[in-house]
Amino acid sequence: MKVNIQPEYNLAKVNCSTCGEEFEVGSTLKEIKVDTCSKCHPFYTGSQSFVQAQGRVERFNRRYGVNKEKENKDK
């Protein structure tokens, strides 16, 4: 195995450009800038809504008659 070819592992400072949060992680970089972090991302904060996806499913079912097929099989 070659000696001294591994990158140097540092504590990197992560800066979120959306909320301004700063925290440290281990990385080969010294500074990392991100657009959104776990403190401001809608998925992690619970403010994400699935209304659009639900509408797509209902529209698909209406268009292709998925619910009608289930009703006909039950009869």
Task: Tell me the C-alpha distance between 62 and 57, whole Å.
Answer: 9
Q: What is the pTM of this model?
A: 0.50
Q: What is the CA radius of gyration of the chain?
A: 24
Measure the CA angle with vertex 39, ends 37 and 43; round to 5°.
Answer: 80
The string of pLDDT tens digits covering residues 7-21 is 999 999 999 988 888
pLDDT at 4: 87
Sign of the alpha-carbon dihedral angle for 6, 12, 17, 19: positive
What's the CA gap between 8 and 67, in Å, rounded? 59
Q: Which domains does the chain have, with CATH numbers?
A: 10-66 (4.10.80.400)
pLDDT in tens, 39-63: 887 666 666 665 556 677 778 888 8
